[in-house]
A and B are shown apart, each in its own frame.
Chain A
Amino acid sequence: MTLVELFGWLETTAVAVSIRESSYGFAIAVGVHILGIAASVGILLWVDLRLLGVALIRTPLDEVYRGLAPWFAAGFATMLLSGAALFAAFATAAYGNQFFRIKLLLLLLAGANALVFHRVAARSADTSGSLGPPPAAARLAGALSLLIWAGVIVMGRAMAYTMFSLG
């Protein structure tokens, strides 16, 4: 099965059809996607601000991370599921959209940053104690995460404004 065939098949699935053809399907999917962004990026932002050393600095990084993780994880799950459903509905058009491709790359970068830097930074920030300015690696991880997620949001909007003008 080629990619094009796969996308064509995705567009015929029940979820995809109901997003495209029922009167509120699209509105609900996009609404849930945006609420997922608010919960995930809006709450993860506090881990990044802590890494940067501009908020919650009197709480150990580890405690901030563990306290917020269930909330932003639920947000990410919501965002990914609604995003996957939206992709299925418009797979071919999304695949051909340059902003969608940039958005996917940024999502991969965000994931890599979270895996590598957050883990490394969490360790080094913990050994240096919770007070005082965080180490450079922690600040870099926080700044990168903020920038990448802002980029994801901007690319998502750019996609919405360019994808449907052709079809």
Chain B
Amino acid sequence: MTAFDWLESTGMARTVSGSLLLTAALSAVHLLGFTLVSGGASVVHLRLAGAMLRRTELLDVARPAGRVVALGLALSVMTGVVLFAGRASSIAANEIFQTKMLLLVIAVAWQLALHRRLARTATLSPRAARALGFVGLALWLGLAVAACAFILLE
């Protein structure tokens, strides 16, 4: 028995996969979390790219954005784990899901590194800021696209 089979056999997993209401509720919170993550990540990276709020201090955008991303991730990851448990072995084998998880890990590592760097010193050359903004936007957009593709094509 693999770890995924075991996960599927737990009481929590069977309760979720047996209840449409519970699955829909978890999925709704998952999407709310996704919206928060997208909102936080897009605003801080668009600010870095120089596409919005140019007269607002970078840290005034980055600090609350970091909190919104963290709150959204907490909601999405918690509900995601429970939703995953219900169909663990088939989902784990899905290539789009694997891509989504890989991009999630990279995007979260990116965000942590960005906030660490900004906490040390928030002064960046305009070129560096723009580059960080574009790379971050591309990463999070890639994750969002993989997430949408996964729900629909699995």
Contacts and interface: CB of A to CB of B under 8 A. Distances in A.
Given A31-B145, A64-B53, A42 B64 contact: no
Interface string B137-154: 000000011001101110
B89 interface: no
Interface of A: 24, 26-27, 30-31, 34-35, 37-39, 41-43, 45-46, 49, 54-56, 58-59, 63-64, 67-68, 71, 150, 153-154, 156-158, 160-162, 165
Interface residues of B, number: 34
B31 A157 contact: yes
A49 B71 CA distance: 14
Interface stretch (B3-11, B21-29, B104-112, B115-123): B21-29
A39 B52 CA distance: 14
Contacts, number: 100
Interface of B: 20, 23-24, 27-28, 31-32, 34-36, 38-40, 42-43, 46, 51-57, 60-61, 64, 68, 144-145, 148-149, 151-153
Contact of B24 (A63, A68, A158): A158
Contacts of A31: 145, 148-149, 152
